[in-house]
Amino acid sequence: MARLIRTEKEVEGRFEEVWIVVEEDPLEQWPEGPLEVVGRPAPRKDGPERVRGEARYTADLRLPGMLQAAVLRSPHAHAKVRRIDLAPALALPGVRAAIGPGEAHGLEEEAGFAGAAVAAVAADTFAQARAAVKAIDVEWEELEVVLDPDDAVKREQLTAEPRTYERGDVDKAFADADVVVEGTYRTQTVLHNSMETHQAICEWQGDTLHVYISTQFIWGIRQAVAQTLDLPEDKVRVVCEFMGGGFGSKNGPDEYTFVAAELAKRTGRPVRCALTRREENTSAGNRNATIQRLRAGARGDGTIVAFEGEFRNSVGWSGWNASTEGPMRMLYDCENVRSVTYGAKLNTPPMKAFRAPGFVEGTFGLECLVDELAAKLDVDPLELRRRNYAASNEGTPFSSKNLEDCYRMAEPHWERRHEVRSRSDAVWKRGVGMASQIWYGGGGPPSYAWVRLGSDGRATVITAMQDIGTGTRTAMAQIAAEELGIPLEHVDVALGDSARGPYASISAGSSTLPSMGPAVRAAAADAREQVEDIAEQRGLPADTPLQEIVAVLEESQILGKGARGPNPTGMSVLTFGVHVVEVAVDVETGEVNVERVAAIHDVGRIVNPLGASSQVEGGVIQGIGHTLSEERLLDPESGRILTTSLDSYRMPTIADVPEIICEFVDRPDEHLTNLGSKGLGEPPIVPIAAAIANAIRDATGAEVHELPISREEMLRALREAEERAREKEKRGAPAAV
């Protein structure tokens, strides 16, 4: 029976109360460990299409009569359009339409950052559209620019009220603490830079708008586009069969979709609006920079008694104030915690969710601070983490938490530190560091799937979800194959089209597998039960192969239907893990090489160990980029973006990759759905920066406080460590004889 419930929905660490209809989820979980198909490595179902270049991405679609759009963007970080003349653009060859501020959602008169969209043109070719954009005559009124987050906080120029949190008596706890450490940590702005840039093609057919888009959330696009254009949602069809990466930046429609829709309306032709790589680097979102002023207090026995943090998120012109304080609140059993988080409104490009937003930044600060505490207490960093293990999430029980197992599995990697250090020489210092991970990833309802079974014994899973590259299409096929008891090769997955399948989850917040997987299993179980009914009526024994049972059906089909059940009430569904990293630091030049990463994660049941290891490697590698080389740079005077190409914005290449060892606890969360799986897209990027910084401390004694750990920052930290050592020698050590 359908049941209406009020529940808390979480995406990317943001919660909202929603009404949803849930269906009962009566299926028992499968037993722990590898089954016939689930839990066994499976190459991607769509691997051949993708590898052979046959997969059609939004960028590859060519609709008949399609026009190309280009967007005029503000060259100023803060300015107002005093006067704009589109006529010179319209006079150029090939130009079919031009629109200015207010004529499409996202084209605005006031540009709050360099790269904000102002006007757009549709032309026969992209070159013509670009030439026309250049011809648009704009008179700008430049306005005051605020770029410094401290300045913005001082002026109370914030995106929202500061978020405060407090438990216990923090002041008293610090006063009573035996040891107090404090530090300021800074993280930089980093860019998603998905390989396929943000883009959409819009086409009107009758009163229906067809939107082909590179997106992480087909249904979110449908809803946002319908709301903005005042259309019934069923009059918006959203298609995304393959998409070239998102990492959080493609959750919503943005200006390019509305530009394409409006220009398509005006010209009566399909219109593509695709960001160039340069636009991708200015206008497609970012992981915001942070400043974290942190303090921790502990008793001599290593019990952490107090945490305090002031967090300043450089949100930008718009965006939300991510939970940078989350790890400090949740990772350890600490009775007294106080935090305030400011979202600075700046004349910089808006932040967007980026793979565990807030927690990546917050874990860097927190886990570096905890290691500094370990050093001051002279306690082993792994031991300190164990001593402060949180048994609940501020009193709410965990649906499952196996971080203790992660720590145990980390031991052999952690033990290597003695040997690793011993390989240091005068120039290259080696060391080992660790950091823990906490993050969401439980998914939730609503999400639906259908399973269609033919008389040939082959099944198709139908659901309008998207596979953003994480391999969820394959995981869905595995789940259906397992439940139906048929080979993986006999299951296809049809996804990517809101007109051809039921509502499906966003692929963000590590939620696709935990949201969709249970719905797919329920749909397959519904089909299986119908097959069992048929077997009974045919007088066939229960163990007859499915293919034999349905063979008589001819054109008849069996249709199974499934929905994602609710999350366990009164429990926190979270993911956990630990990274142990080995680095080598050249103390003369400040070069840092990450040599080995052991990534151990607890995300419930692993459906596809092969795909899961790819997620972990990808997260680790992206995290190494964030830690060592990536940084979006602004001109500090004008606010213009200096790093707009993949030459200047430095992402890791194959030559930068260390040895990566992936291990999983692989134990189903007994309270979470019929599957017991949590998401894995985000967890592996959370702890890597702190683990690298802690390894650097182990190798050199230097305390890194800033990302990226450029050579400049590394050399600064080394110099500081030397001075500290000299001071200590002067003060404490007996003179050498």
Partner 1 sequence: MSALRLTVNGGEHVLDVPVGTSLAQILRDELGLTGTKIACNEGHCGACTVQIDGVPQLSCITLAHAVEGEVTTIEGLREHPLVEAFVRADAVQCGYCTPGQVVSAAALVAANPQPTREEIRHAMAGNICRCGTYPKIEEAILSWQG
Pull the structure tokens for residue 118.
Answer: 């102002």
One of 35, 57, 226, 452 touching partner 1 (CB under 8 A): 57
Which of 494, 657 has the CB closer to partner 1? Answer: 657
Q: Between residues 689 and 718, which has the closer beta carbon with respect to partner 1?
A: 689
User: Of the listed pieces 297-305, 357-365, 532-540, 648-656, which binds partner 1 according to CB under 8 A?
Assistant: 648-656
What x/- string results for residues 698 through 717 when contact with partner 1 is judged by CB under 8 A?
--------------------
Q: In the complex with partner 1, which residue's Cβ is closer, 274 or 351? A: 274
Residues between 261 and 280 with contacts to partner 1, criterion CB under 8 A: 276-277
Contacting residue, 4, 391, 426, 655, with partner 1 by CB under 8 A: 655
Tokens of 176: 């009573």
Complex with partner 1: residue 124 or 335, whichever CB lies closer: 124
Helix ranges restricted to H, 72-184? 87-90, 126-135, 149-154, 170-176
Q: How many angstroms separate the CA atoms of 323 and 546, rounded? A: 49
The verdict on 473 binding partner 1 (CB under 8 A) reads: no
611 binds partner 1 (CB under 8 A): yes
HEC string of 595-622? EEEEEEEECECCCCHHHHHHHHHHHHHH
Q: Which is nearer to partner 1, 218 or 718 (CB)?
A: 218
For the bound state, the minimum distance from the C-beta of residue 55 to partner 1, rounded and expressed in Å, comes to: 6
Q: Are 253 and 225 in contact (CB under 8 A)?
A: yes
The site for partner 1, by CB under 8 A, has a size of 54
Interface residue with partner 1 among 35, 59, 143, 390 (CB under 8 A) is 59
Positive or negative, the CA dihedral 383, 387, 393, 394 is negative
Q: Can residue 93 be called a binding residue for partner 1 (CB under 8 A)? A: no
* Strand ordering across the sheet containing 659-664: 428-439, 575-586, 592-602, 659-664
Q: Which residues pair with 559 in a beta bridge?
A: 452
Contact 433, 581 (CB under 8 A): yes
CB nearer to partner 1: give 56 or 724: 56
Length of the chain as a residue count: 737
Parallel, antiparallel or unpaired: strands 459-462 and 491-494: parallel
**In the complex with partner 1, which residue's Cβ is closer, 216 or 436?**
216
Of 128 and 388, the one with the shorter C-beta distance to partner 1 is 128
* 610 is a contact residue toward partner 1 (CB under 8 A): yes
Q: How far is CA 346 from CA 82, 221, 281, in A?
A: 22, 27, 17
Residues 173-192 that bind partner 1 (CB under 8 A): 192
We find the least distance from the C-beta atom of residue 282 to partner 1, in angstroms, to be 14
Identify which range of 153-161, 496-504, 522-530, 610-618 contacts partner 1 by CB under 8 A: 610-618
CA distance 570 to 64: 53
Contact between 206 and partner 1 per CB under 8 A: no
Residue 516's Cβ-side half-sphere holds a number of Cα atoms within 13 Å equal to 37
Nearest residue (CB) to partner 1, 348 versus 613: 613
Asked if 84 interacts with partner 1 (CB under 8 A), we say no
Pick one of 3, 15, 32, 56: the residue that binds partner 1 (CB under 8 A). 56
DSSP run (H or E) holding 382: helix 381-387
Query: What are the structure tokens assigned to 526, written together?
Result: 């519904």
Question: Of 190, 176, 186, 178, which Cα lies nearest the Cα of 294?
Answer: 186
Residues 122, 152, 373, 468: which binds partner 1 (CB under 8 A)? 468
Q: How far apart are CA 381 and CA 244, in angstroms?
A: 39
Q: What per-residue string of b and e applies to 519-553 under the rule 16 or more CB within 10 Å gives b? A: bbbbbbbbbbebbeebbeeeeeeeeeebeebbeeb
Per rule CB under 8 A, is residue 52 in the interface with partner 1?
yes
Residue 243 binds partner 1, judged by CB under 8 A: yes
Which of 392, 418, 410, 273 has the alpha carbon at shortest distance from 335?
A: 392
* CB-based burial, 334-354: b 16+ in 10 Å, e otherwise: bebbbbbbbbbbbbbbbbbbb
Nearer to partner 1, 250 or 312 (CB): 250
H-only helix segments in 246-289: 254-267, 277-283
Cα 69 to Cα 92: distance, rounded to the nearest angstrom: 14
**Helical H segments across 268-350, by residue range:** 277-283, 326-330
Residue 577 sits in the site that holds partner 1 (CB under 8 A): no
CA separation for the pair 680, 604 (Å, rounded): 10
Q: How far is CA 420 from the centre of its chain?
A: 32
- Give SS3 for 610: helix
- Between CA 268 and CA 292 the distance in angstroms is 51
510: left (phi over 0), alpha (psi -120 to 50) or beta: left
Among 150, 653, 712, 726, binds partner 1 (CB under 8 A): 653
Considering only 23-31, 342-350, 608-616, 724-732, which stretch makes contact with partner 1 by CB under 8 A?
608-616
Determine, following the binding rule CB under 8 A, whether residue 60 of this chain makes contact with partner 1.
Answer: yes
Compute the least distance from the CB of residue 291 to partner 1, in Å: 27
196 contacts partner 1 (rule: CB under 8 A): yes
- Binding partner 1 by CB under 8 A: which of 319, 618, 679, 687? 618
619 sits near partner 1 (criterion: CB under 8 A) = yes
Nearer to partner 1, 149 or 469 (CB): 469
Percent of residues in the chain assigned helix, strand, coil, to nearest 5: 30, 25, 40
> Residue 221, SS3?
helix
Q: Which helix (H) or strand (E) holds 52?
A: none
Least Å from the CB of residue 334 to partner 1: 33
In the list 33, 34, 48, 65, the residue contacting partner 1 (rule: CB under 8 A) is 48
Say which residues have a Cβ less than 8 Å from residue 606's Cβ, sequence separation at least 6.
39, 612, 664, 666, 677
Q: Which of 424, 547, 593, 614 forms a contact with partner 1 (CB under 8 A)?
A: 614
User: Judged by CB under 8 A, which of 29, 44, 221, 705 binds partner 1?
Assistant: 44
Q: Does 247 bind partner 1 (CB under 8 A)?
A: yes
Quote the least distance from Cβ 221 to partner 1, whole Å. Answer: 18
Q: Give the one residue of 47, 65, 300, 412 binding partner 1; rule: CB under 8 A.
A: 47
Tell which one of 2, 391, 426, 654 touches partner 1 (CB under 8 A). 654
Q: Which is nearer to partner 1, 180 or 657 (CB)?
A: 657
Nearest to 132 by CA among 89, 97, 74, 91: 89
Q: Does 65 help bind partner 1 (rule: CB under 8 A)?
A: no
Smallest distance, partner 1 to C-beta of residue 267, A: 19
244 interacts with partner 1 by CB under 8 A: yes
By beta-carbon proximity to partner 1, the closer residue of 347 and 627 is: 627
Minimum CB distance to partner 1, residue 195 (Å): 4
Beta strands in 656-722 (DSSP E): 659-664
Nearer to partner 1, 469 or 577 (CB): 469
Say whether residue 245 binds partner 1 (CB under 8 A): yes
Beta carbon nearer to partner 1, 66 or 179: 66
Cα separation, 36 vs 49, whole angstroms: 25
Residue 469 binding partner 1, by CB under 8 A: yes
282 touches partner 1 by CB under 8 A: no
Instruction: Return residues touching partner 1 (CB under 8 A).
Output: 43-44, 46-57, 59-60, 62, 192-197, 242-245, 247, 276-277, 468-471, 610-611, 613-614, 617-622, 645-647, 651-655, 657, 660
